[in-house]
Amino acid sequence: MKPDVLSFLLYGILLSAVFAGLIFYYFSSKRKDRVEKPKYRMLEDDDEQDEKEENK
C-alpha cells in the first residue's frame, strides 16, 4: 500500500472513532437528565422558573 493511501485510511478511521466516542459520551445514560433538562426548561412558564431560582 502506498503511504498516502495508508495515511488517508488511518485518518478516516481516527475520525470515525472520535465521532463514535462523542456520540456515545453525549447519549450515555449518565448524562441523559443533564441533556434533557434544557428542553423541558424552555417549555416552563417564566413565573415558575423565577420561583425556582428564588428558592435556591
C-beta of residue 49 within 8 angstroms of C-beta of residue 38: no
The pLDDT profile of the chain, 56 residues, written as one tens digit per residue, is 788 999 999 999 999 999 999 999 888 878 877 878 887 887 777 766 566 666 65
pLDDT of residue 21: 95
C-beta of residue 41 within 8 angstroms of C-beta of residue 49: yes
The total number of structural domains that make up the chain: 1
pLDDT of residue 50: 60
Domain that holds residue 42: 3-55
Longest dimension (CA), the chain: 65
Rg from Cα positions in the chain: 21
Cell numbers for 43, please give them. Answer: 417549555
Say how far apart CA 30 and CA 19 lie, in whole Å: 19
pLDDT of residue 29: 78
